[in-house]
Structures are given as structure tokens and as C-alpha cells.
Amino acid sequence: MGLLARWWVVPWLLGACALSPAQRAPALPLSTLPTQGVLLLGEQHDNPHHQHLQQQAVQHLLRRGTLNALALEMAPAGASTQGLPAHATDEAIQRALRWSQAGWPWAPYAATIRLAVRAQVPVVGANLPRAAIMATMQDPSIDTSVPPQVWQQQRQAVAQGHCGLLPESQLDPMTRVQVARDQRMARTLAALWRPGQVTVLLTGSAHANRTLGVPLHVPAQVPVTSVYMAPQGAASSGFDVTWPAPAAPARDYCAELKRQGMPKRPAAS
């Protein structure tokens, strides 16, 4: 996975494409799906094989009748399709989710979201709202809201994810946003959880990591299953399950970032 796409969503790095049947990811390992709790599907945002596996998972949980809600890193907390009719158009769904096409392409996630809407299962935003980002960057209490080793690993990942281009003065503020996103998504999942049912979160693999991300902040009484989607044999430390999936074509994200220039503010990842 490209480090930049992993940590901060920048629009020009999210060109996921449609797959022909011959190119699709391997079949979903159904035996790894939980029967209750929250299921974190950690993706590489620009790998269409990962979105295909997510679609299979949601479809199976719907057939089983255990999908309680579909939560999205791609939409802000507070946004929801609750109340939309089953036949709602994509435009209506995007409005309800306050979807930002500039931050997240709609096409890679549309089919999975439509499945839930058609089944009248709520789709909800889970991420830190954009309006909260600036205050979050200036809140030093976030620095000590995770163990010191987690803070340092997050900070290092932010630096690497920005290809060493961030000034030192921006590392702590940007790390606060990353931690706050994990915390907001965890609160959303905890509020949605129902015993005997499954709430799914579509998110980047860094957020799904048990040692660093969202699972750290989910209440202990809520069962968590964290999935890593990666090529066969790839290291998966920090996850409960690995789902094999082909790698996306190699890209030099740092070269692209340098060519485009650094964004002036955090994106909606």
C-alpha cells in the first residue's frame, strides 16, 4: 500500500477503477466473518479488489440477516441514510451522507452502499467532521489520550505518509487528527453495536490496526474483528484475519505528491 493513501486521503491518489469479472478478487472466506460485534474491513483505498471483497462481505451479512449498520470512514459522523427509501438514488444517498466527491470517489463504494440502502440497513458516517479538524489540531490533550508508544508510532507514520515533506511543527497537529479520527470512528461503532448483530466499518487498514487504530478505542464489551486485505503471505501483525487479495499496481505516491504539491490542510480521510 502507498503510504500517503494509507494515512491521508488525497483526491488525486484515489483513482480506483472498475474490475472485469476475470480481474476480481478471490472469493470471500466466509468462515472468517463474525456472528456479532463490529467488523473492521481495512482496505487500501485505491485497490478495487479490496472494495470487491467488502461488497461480498456486506452482501453475505445481509443474506444472513445480521447486518445492523454499515459505517464509513468516507463520510462524517452524524450523516446517515436513515429514513431514505429503499429506491433512493445515488444523488440522494450522497446528500444524506454528506459525501465529498473531492475527498472520496463515489464509484468504488457505491455498489456496497446501495446494497445496504436497498435492504433498509442504515449507512452512517463515522469519521471526524471536517469542521472539527482545526480545533482538533490545536488540542494537546489528544497527545496523551493514547499510550506513548502508540503516539510515537502514529507520529512517525504521519511523517512517512507525507514523504518527509511535512515541517516538524505540523507533525503533532496532524497526528492529533489521525488519533481523533480513530476515536470518533470507535464512538460511532460503539453507539451502533447491538448484541447478536454485526456492524461493519469500511476504513483504511491503518485505522483497522488493533495496535494503533480504531480497536484501541472501542469499549471492551464490544467484540471486534479486524480484517487486513493483502496479497497472500503479506505480514498482518495487528489484525485478527487476513483476506487474500491481489495488490494494486505499484505507484510512486511520493513522486506524485511532490509533483502536485502538499495540500494546505488535512484531507477528509
Sheet holding 224-230, edge to edge: 123-127, 67-76, 198-204, 37-43, 224-230, 241-244
- Residue ranges of the chain with pLDDT lower than 70? 1-26, 260-269
Q: How is domain 3-12+33-195+206-260 classified at the architecture level of CATH?
A: 3-Layer(aba) Sandwich (3.40)
What's the pLDDT score for residue 19?
Answer: 43
Q: Which residue has the cell 465529498?
A: 100
What's the pLDDT score for residue 178?
Answer: 97
- Coil, helix or strand for 241? strand
What's the pLDDT score for residue 164?
Answer: 86
Q: Which residue has the cell 445492523?
A: 68
Q: Judge contact between 119 and 86, C-beta under 8 A.
A: yes
CA gap 33, 159 in Å, rounded: 34
What's the pLDDT score for residue 262?
Answer: 56
Residue 247 pairs in a beta bridge with none
What's the pLDDT score for residue 5?
Answer: 34
CA gap 156, 23 in Å, rounded: 35
What's the pLDDT score for residue 235?
Answer: 74
What's the pLDDT score for residue 236?
Answer: 78
CA gap 138, 88 in Å, rounded: 39
pTM of the shown model: 0.87
CA gap 238, 7 in Å, rounded: 16
